Amino acid sequence: MPMIAFELMMLVTSICALVVSGWLWQQARRRRSLQALSGFGVMMALWCGGHIAILQGWHRLGILLILANPLMPTFFLHFATRFVYPGRASAPPWLEWLSRHISLIYVVSSIIVVLSWLGTGGRTVALGPFEAFFVFQGLGWFNVAYTVVIGVIAHLVLVWGLSVHKGNLRRSIVAMFAAGGWGLLLASSFIFPSIGIDWYPYPMLLMPSYVVLLVYGVVRYQILEANAFAKGALPWLVLMLVLLGVVALIRALSAALGAGSLAAVPVWQLWLCSLVALAVALLLKRPLNELSDQLIYPGVDLNEALLERWLNRLKSAAGWDALERMAADLIGQQVGQPVRILLQREGDPMPVIARNGLHILCQHRASGWRFRLEGWEDVKPGQRLTGEVFGSLLATSCGLLERSLQLAEAERRRLASEHLVELGSLSAVMAHELRNPLNVISMATADLPSDRRALIQAQLKRADRQISDLLLYSGRIEPQPQPVQLAAMLDSLRPLFDWQQTEFETAVPPGLWLHADPHRLQQVFTNLIDNALGFVRNNPGSRIRIDTDECGRRVRIHNNGPAIDPSLHDSLFQPFVSRRAGGSGLGLAIVRRIMDAHGGDVRLRTDLGWPVTFELSFPEEVKP
C-alpha cells in the first residue's frame, strides 16, 4: 500500500506538471519568461516519471530520467533571470552575464547529465516496501552538487529582484521563495536512502502541491486568468482526492462485503480508472450543461455576448425614463412580446400593475435594488428564465444609474456653490452701491406731488425687493430646523397679500407639523403664493389651494392660472428665468435653494388636475 501511494503521488505530480506546463506555454505569448517556467514543469514531470518507471521495473529508463535532474534548476534559473531582469533596467554585472550566457549554462547542465549517464551516476536498491528505489553513486553526487549550486544561483537572482522590485512583482518573488522552501522540504527525503538512511519518503507524497503552489504563486499576480483557472480547478482537485479515498475505502471493505473479485484488483488500477472517469466527466461537463439547457429551456440562448450587450445598453441610459424605454425594448425583442418596465424609486408610490401583460418591477430597498416578475406565470420556462436574467441586470443598472445621478447632482451642487460664493461677493458690493443712490432718490421725492411720489416709491420698493432677492439667493443658507405647525403658519400669511378676489384655500390637517426652519419655510410659501398671485389675480374664479398627500411629506401649492409652457419646464428653477413682467426671476430659484438646504425638493406637477402645481417634498416624516 505505501508503495502504491508513492507511485500514485508521482503520477499525479507528473500529470499536474504537464498540464500546468502546457497552460504556461500558451500564456508565454504575452510573457516570454513563462517559456522557461514551462520547461521547468516538463522536467519535473520527467523526474517524477523516472520514479514511476523504476517502480514498474524499467530501472534503466528511470535512472536516466532522474539523473536529468540538473536541467530542472537550469530552467528555473532561466525563468528567474527573465522574470526579475527583463533587460530594461540596470543590474549587477553577474546578473547581466547570466542573462547573456544562459544558453551556455544549458550546455553545461546537459554535459553534466550525459556524464552522469555514462559514469553510472545512480542505481536502485530495496527500501522498506519498495523493491527498487533510486540512490546516487559516483558522478551522481557531482550531479547533485551541481543541481544545488544552480538552484542557489537562481535564488540569488530572486534575492536581487526582491531588493529592487515592488508591488505584484515583489509579491510573486516572495511566493516563489515560499514555494521553493516547501519543495526543498518535500524533496529532501529523496536523498536519505543515498546517504544510508532507511526511511520511507513520506514528504514526497505531497509533491503535487509543490508544482501547483510554485506556478500559481508566480502567475497569480501577473496573469489574472490564473486566479479564475485556480478557482475552477480547486473543486475538481478536492473531488479527485475524495474519490481516491472513497475508492481505497471500498476496496478495503470489499472482501468483508463479499466482493472478492474487487478486492483482487490492484488499488492503483482502481485509482487510475477513477481518474480517467473524472477526466471524462470534466471534459463532458460543458457540452452536457449546454445540452441540458436546450432540453429544459428550448430556444433560449443567453450567451455572454448577449448579456454584455444588454448591460452596456442599459448602462448608457442617461435618466430613469430612458432606462425604462430602453429596457422595455431590449426584453421585448428577446421574448417576442411587449414587456412593461416599472421602476419604483425611494419615496415613490407603488406603480399600478395591469392585470394583463408582462411586467418587470424594480424597486429600491434598504439593501439595494430588487426586481420582481409580474404576469409571467403562464409563459414558457425559457422566457421566464430570460426575464429573470434580464431583471437581475436591470436591477444592477438601476443601482449604477442611481449612483451616477447622485454624483452628477453632487457635482452640480459643488459648482453651484462655487458660483454662489463669487456671486455673493459681487452681490454684496452691488447692493451697497445701488442702495445708496436709491436712498438719495427716495429722500428727493419728499417735495413732489403725492401721485408722483407714490409712483416713484413703488418702483424704489420693487428695486429694493429685487436687491434683497439677489442677496438671499447668492448668500449662504444654513437652516435651523424646529417643529413648525403648517396650518398656523399659512394662516399667518393671509394678511400679507392683496388677494384681489382670489380665493385662497388650505386643506392642511391642523395637527400637521414640519421639521424645518420657520423663517426659511415662510419665504418658500411667500414666494410661491406671490408667484401664483401674479398670474391669477383679478381673474374671475381665480383660486389658490394648498394641501398635502396622504402621509404629509409632500405639500402642494395649486393655482388655476395659465399652464406653464413645456419649453420652460427644465429651466423653471434656474435664476433669472421669469414668466411675468416685473419679476426678478429669482423667486423659484430661491425656493429650490431653501428646499435643497433642508434636504428636500421642489418640482412642478401637471398631473394632479390643476394647470399649475408646485410640490414640496420634505425628507423627514411629519410629526403630529
Domain boundary residue among 394, 409, 424?
Answer: 409
Q: Residue 455 corresponds to which cell in the numbers above?
A: 409712483
pLDDT at 330: 92
Question: Do 189 and 329 sit in the same domain of this protein?
Answer: no
Please count the other Cβ atoms lying within 10 Å of the Cβ belonging to residue 515: 15
Residue 623 pLDDT > 50: no
Least confident residue range of 83-92, 330-339, 402-411: 83-92
Task: Report how far residue 545's alpha carbon sits from residue 529's, in angstroms, rounded to the nearest whole number.
Answer: 10
pLDDT at 436: 66
pLDDT at 614: 93
592: closest CA among 560, 621, 614, 561? Answer: 614
Residue 312 pLDDT > 70: yes
541 within 8 A of 512, measured Cβ to Cβ: no
Least confident residue range of 210-219, 347-356, 580-589: 580-589
Q: What is the mean pLDDT of residues 258-265?
A: 74
Task: Report how far residue 209's alpha carbon sits from residue 13's, in angstroms, rounded to the nearest whole number.
Answer: 8
The residue count for the chain:
624
pLDDT at 345: 86
Task: Report how far residue 397's alpha carbon sits from residue 403's, in angstroms, rounded to the nearest whole number.
Answer: 10
Higher confidence at residue 287 or residue 89?
287
pLDDT at 328: 92
**What contacts 40, CB < 8 A, 6 or more positions away?**
21, 72, 75, 76, 79
Task: Report how far residue 284's alpha carbon sits from residue 150's, in angstroms, rounded to the nearest whole number.
Answer: 43
Single-letter amino acid code for the residue at 277? A
Give the Å distances, CA to CA, from 217 to 17, 28, 89, 230.
14, 16, 24, 11
Q: Is residue 12 a part of any domain in this protein?
A: yes
Residue 223 pLDDT > 60: no
Task: Report how far residue 204's alpha carbon sits from residue 499's, in angstroms, rounded to the nearest whole number.
Answer: 98
Residue 472 pLDDT > 80: no
Higher confidence at residue 83 or residue 111?
111
Question: Phi and psi dihedrals of 223, rounded to 5?
Answer: -125, 110
Please report, for the domain that includes residue 200, its CATH number: 1.20.1070.10
Q: Give the DSSP letter string of 510-533.
A: TT-EEEE-HHHHHHHHHHHHHHHH
Higher confidence at residue 517 or residue 274?
517
Q: Give the DSSP letter string of 430-442.
A: HHHHHHHHHHHHH
Domain boundary residue among 201, 223, 245?
Answer: 223
Task: Report how far residue 48's alpha carbon sits from residue 476's, in angstroms, rounded to the nearest whole number.
Answer: 78
Tell me if residue 224 falls in helix, strand or coil: coil
Task: Report how far residue 272's alpha carbon sits from residue 274's, in angstroms, rounded to the nearest whole number.
Answer: 5
Residue 307 pLDDT > 80: yes
pLDDT at 622: 39
Residue 49 pLDDT > 70: yes
Give the Å distances, CA to CA, from 450 to 455, 459, 467.
9, 14, 25
Band of residue 624 on the pLDDT scale cut at 50, 70, 90 = very low
| CB-facing half-sphere around the CA of 55: CA atoms within 13 A | 20
Which residues are 547's β-sheet partners?
507, 556
Tell me which residue range forms the domain holding 240. Answer: 226-296
Q: Is residue 386 a part of any domain in this protein?
A: yes
pLDDT at 365: 84
Split into its structural domains, the chain has a count of: 4
Owner of C-alpha cell 454584455: 308
Band of residue 37 on the pLDDT scale cut at 50, 70, 90 = confident
The segment with the largest mean pLDDT, out of 61-65, 178-182, 418-422, is 61-65
pLDDT at 226: 55
Q: Is residue 429 a part of any domain in this protein?
A: no
346 within 8 A of 364, measured Cβ to Cβ: yes
Q: What is the mean pLDDT of residues 7-29?
A: 80
Question: Do 247 and 348 sit in the same domain of this protein?
Answer: no
pLDDT at 352: 82
**Exposed, middle or buried, 594 (CB in 10 Å: 0-12/13-18/19+)?**
buried
Domain boundary residue among 374, 409, 444?
Answer: 409
pLDDT at 179: 80
Tell me if residue 105 falls in helix, strand or coil: helix
Task: Report how far residue 351's alpha carbon sits from residue 463's, in angstroms, rounded to the nearest whole number.
Answer: 47
Question: Do 352 and 494 sit in the same domain of this protein?
Answer: no
Query: Angle, nearest 10°, between helix axes 139-164 and 93-100?
Result: 120
Q: Give the DSSP letter string of 272-337.
A: HHHHHHHHHHHHHHHHHHHHHHHHHSTT----HHHHHHHHHHHHT--SHHHHHHHHHHHHHHHHTS
73 within 8 A of 150, measured Cβ to Cβ: yes
Q: Is residue 45 a part of any domain in this protein?
A: yes
171: closest CA among 84, 244, 258, 43? Answer: 84
Owner of C-alpha cell 405647525: 485
Q: Over the chain, what is the mean pLDDT? A: 81
Owner of C-alpha cell 540569488: 156
Question: Do 240 and 254 sit in the same domain of this protein?
Answer: yes
Q: Is residue 173 a part of any domain in this protein?
A: yes
Question: Do 248 and 219 sit in the same domain of this protein?
Answer: no
Question: Do 509 and 595 sit in the same domain of this protein?
Answer: yes
Question: Do 197 and 240 sit in the same domain of this protein?
Answer: no
Q: What is the mean pLDDT of residues 420-442?
A: 64
12: closest CA among 272, 246, 225? Answer: 272
Distance, CA of 415 to chain centre: 29
Q: What is the mean pLDDT of residues 16-43?
A: 80
Q: Is residue 464 a part of any domain in this protein?
A: no
Q: What is the mean pLDDT of residues 490-498?
A: 86
Please report, for the domain that includes residue 528, its CATH number: 3.30.565.10
543 within 8 A of 502, measured Cβ to Cβ: yes
Least confident residue range of 2-6, 176-180, 392-396: 2-6
66 within 8 A of 14, measured Cβ to Cβ: no
Residue 96 pLDDT > 70: yes
Helix ranges (DSSP H) in 353-504: 381-444, 450-474, 486-493
Question: Do 112 and 248 sit in the same domain of this protein?
Answer: no
Q: Give the DSSP letter string of 381-401.
A: HHHHHHHHHHHHHHHHHHHHH
Distance, CA of 402 to chain centre: 15
Q: Residue 204 carries which DSSP code? A: G
User: How many percent of the chain have pLDDT more than 90?
Assistant: 14
Residue 88 pLDDT > 60: no
Task: Report how far residue 267's alpha carbon sits from residue 230's, in angstroms, rounded to the nearest whole number.
Answer: 29
pLDDT at 557: 93
Q: What is the mean pLDDT of residues 560-586?
A: 72
330 within 8 A of 312, measured Cβ to Cβ: no
Question: Do 239 and 326 sit in the same domain of this protein?
Answer: no
Residue 167 pLDDT > 90: no
Q: What is the mean pLDDT of residues 368-385?
A: 86
Q: Residue 556 carries which DSSP code? A: E
Question: Do 324 and 387 sit in the same domain of this protein?
Answer: yes
pTM: 0.46
Task: Report how far residue 320's alpha carbon sits from residue 364's, in angstroms, rounded to the nearest whole number.
Answer: 13
Question: Do 245 and 184 sit in the same domain of this protein?
Answer: no
Q: Is residue 443 a part of any domain in this protein?
A: no
Band of residue 4 on the pLDDT scale cut at 50, 70, 90 = confident
Residue 465 pLDDT > 90: no
Question: Do 353 and 289 sit in the same domain of this protein?
Answer: no
Task: Report how far residue 204's alpha carbon sits from residue 133's, in angstroms, rounded to the nearest whole number.
Answer: 13
Band of residue 161 on the pLDDT scale cut at 50, 70, 90 = confident
Q: What is the mean pLDDT of residues 19-30?
A: 77
558: closest CA among 494, 490, 487, 613? Answer: 613
The segment with the largest mean pLDDT, out of 251-260, 281-290, 559-568, is 559-568
Higher confidence at residue 359 or residue 537?
359
pLDDT at 429: 58
Q: Residue 174 corresponds to which cell in the numbers above?
A: 516572495
Least confident residue range of 114-128, 267-281, 483-497, 592-606: 267-281
Q: Residue 340 corresponds to which cell in the numbers above?
A: 412593461
Q: Is residue 502 a part of any domain in this protein?
A: yes
76-114 burial code (b ≥16 CB/10 A, e <16) = bbbbbbbbbbeeeeebeeebeebbeeeeebbeebeebbe
